[in-house]
Amino acid sequence: MAKPEPIAYIWHKDYVNESDRYIPTTNRNVMVHLLIEAYGLLDNMMTVTPKKASIQDLAAFHSMDYLNFLSNPNSNRDEDSINDENDDYGLEYDCPIQDGIIEYCQRVAGGTIEAARMLNNGFCKTAIHWLGGWHHAKRSNAAGFCYVNDCVLGIIELRKKFERVLYIDLDLHHGDGVQDAFCGTNKVLTFSIHKFEPGFFPGTGSDKEIGYGKGKYYTVNVPLLDGARDDTFCDIFDKIAPTVLKKFKPGAILCQLGADGLNEDPMHSFNLTHKSQIHCIRKIQNWGIPLLILGGGGYNPANTARTWTSVTASLIGKEISEDIPEHEYFLEYGPHYELPVSQSLRKDLNTSKYIAEVVSTVENNLEQIN
């Protein structure tokens, strides 16, 4: 029997504990890690402690003006100037300036860059960094709880080894920051399945957005409506993903697996369970291409931990009990204390006609890739 390919699991104890300060979910990241640990899954992976990314590492995508402001937000400025610059850089509302924010950004980016380097150097075929996946940040702007775009930085690192990198985004929200970064190149194809409707953040992700110049048709957007269920999500992935793979032929893949489309997430949008993420990631893993997996959104901490633990177990080929093991956060999984995430009876607004129209548009665009 062939020996399983090694999987790298990126984490740092202090980083896990501190990271929950900067996202609007109490103890989510700690819960994810401790549930993975409680199931004994760490024994089946290489655990890797990443270094903090340097400012120069962050500058591979982000502007130095923005990084300098993150590093010294109150330096040599009067209050009015600080407020104006906060607004210019998107550092208000969902991305407020907080103590230690630049160190957090360096930890986020350092974890994803280290995961990419593990793949570049052939130390593993799959690398997981659940604390990464912050796909909304732009070159000089924070947005949507994302201060730096570690997805973009991970792709830049992968491009040092692999000529073509496929970015797959399965978060509820459109991966606009990543799309904007690569919409003009044919070396990176961005493929995002997400909710799209007027007024829903970030307001981008129409299937009419297809890229520019050399990157025309290398932007693939699948806009879905409220109530999307596992069967809808998996069906549309199964229809489009193989064509993306065939036409683009990537050397490596970076996949953002946001969990905010799950049923019972505060976003109240999609109606997914852990099954859709497992289905998609198994398909991707079976392609046999170096794969970097990141987290992202997910604002129901217990369901996010359930789902990413289930995905981790699936990736290493280990069956685990549906009964949540006793550990520090055991009581957060009540009242049933079980691993599966359930669907609700909410109506799926994605009709078969709507799905057929979206798939047809996307496939016609993909046919234009030489």
Confirm if 172 and 191 have CB atoms less than 8 A apart. no
Q: By three-state DSSP, how is residue 249 classified? A: coil
E strand segments, 225-300: 252-256, 291-294
Tell me phi and psi for residue 166, to 5 degrees. -95, 130
Q: By three-state DSSP, how is residue 69 classified? A: helix
Confirm if 323 and 330 have CB atoms less than 8 A apart. no
Adjacency order of strands within the sheet including 291-294:
46-48, 7-10, 126-129, 291-294, 252-256, 165-169, 188-195, 219-224
What is the sign, positive or negative, of the torsion defined by CA atoms of 220, 225, 230, 231?
Answer: negative
Token pair for 307: 């789902």
Q: Give the residue among 166, 213, 163, 227 at the shortest CA–CA distance from 192.
A: 166
Q: Is 136 a catalytic residue?
A: yes
From 129, 136, 274, 279, the catalytic residue? 136
Token pair for 271: 């109606």
Whether residue 301 has a cis bond before it, omega within 30° of 0: no
If 0-12 CB within 10 Å is exposed, 13-18 middle and 19+ buried, where does residue 322 land?
Answer: exposed
DSSP 8-state class, residue 15 = H
Dist CA 117 CA 121 (whole Å) = 6
230-248 vs 274-286: helix crossing angle, rounded to 10: 20
E strand segments, the chain: 7-10, 46-48, 126-129, 165-169, 188-195, 219-224, 252-256, 291-294
Contacts of 116 (CB under 8 A, 6+ apart): 127, 154, 155, 157, 158, 254, 292
Residues labelled as active-site residues: 136
